[in-house]
């Protein structure tokens, strides 16, 4: 079976680095970005529950790692607080979604 990446690569504008920032400020900024990126998964699991939106398979906290968040519009940066761009899919259904 062909393995695919779920990340959609888009060209992004490159920001010029701020050379006046200290190392501590740079580390703090990177930690905040990382925290925001991972935050949407936990929010989606809370909003939509531990169930696959396609096949209906139910998950618990022991196997929740098999449940992924699919961005309906394909934009991983579009993470509205109401979760309208997300659906929880098991790894199998998520793979099928991206193989269409």
11 in a domain, yes or no?
no
- Give the residue numbers spanning the domain of 38: 25-98
9 in a domain, yes or no?
no
16 in a domain, yes or no?
no
Count of domains forming the chain = 1
3-state helix, strand, coil in the chain (%, to 5): 35, 10, 50
Partner residues linked to 45 by β-bridges: none
13 in a domain, yes or no?
no
Could you read off the pLDDT of 5-41 as tens digits, one per residue? 555 555 555 566 666 788 888 888 777 765 555 588 8
Question: What CA–CA distance (Å, rounded) separates 25 from 21?
Answer: 6
Q: Is-above-0.95 flag for pTM?
A: no
86 in a domain, yes or no?
yes
10 in a domain, yes or no?
no
């Amino acid at each position: 079976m062909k393995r695919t990446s779920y990340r959609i690569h888009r060209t992004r504008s490159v920001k010029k680095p701020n050379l006046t920032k200290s190392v501590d400020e740079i580390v703090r900024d990177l930690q905040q970005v990382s925290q925001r990126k991972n935050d949407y998964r936990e929010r989606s699991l809370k909003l939509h529950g531990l169930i696959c939106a396609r096949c209906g398979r139910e998950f618990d906290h022991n196997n929740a790692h098999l449940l992924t968040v699919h961005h309906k519009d394909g934009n991983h940066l579009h993470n509205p607080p109401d979760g309208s761009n997300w659906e929880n899919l098991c790894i199998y259904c998520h793979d099928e979604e991206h193989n269409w």
